[in-house]
Amino acid sequence: MVSISDLLNGFHPSIVVCPLTSRVVPEVEWLRVHLPAGVQGLAFASDVLVDQIRALDRRRLLEKLGVLPSELRSGLRERLELLMR
């Protein structure tokens, strides 16, 4: 299934992102996705800040760092769906 974001990827001037932090807070489960060190080359364990979603101008992105493994991507999707309800 093609998502709206997939359709806009090549055309829209902005992109929606969830920032990362290396200040991991293990007890915060539903607002963060915990990424172990080494995932896509991360030097430190990190958290995806699901509650700080924002749109950025694509020109601000310098390089693609990688793609989350499917199990982490599905966890992110679940948390985003909870947040958007």
Say which amino acid occupies 68.
L
Question: 4-84, which class in CATH?
Answer: mainly beta
pTM of the model: 0.81
pLDDT on residue 49: 96
Count how many Cα atoms sit within 13 Å of the Cα of residue 18 in the half-sphere of its side chain. 18
Q: Can you give the pLDDT at residue 11?
A: 73
Secondary structure letter of residue 1 according to DSSP = -
Residues near 37 by beta carbon (within 8 Å), at least 6 away in sequence? 43, 44, 45, 46
Interval 44-78: pLDDT, tens: 999 999 999 998 898 898 888 888 999 999 999 99
CA torsion 57→61→64→68, rounded to 10°?
Answer: -60
Higher pLDDT, 33 or 4: 33
What tens digit of pLDDT does each residue of 24-42 get? 999 998 899 999 999 988 9
More confident residue, 8 or 69: 69
Where in the chain are the domains? 4-84
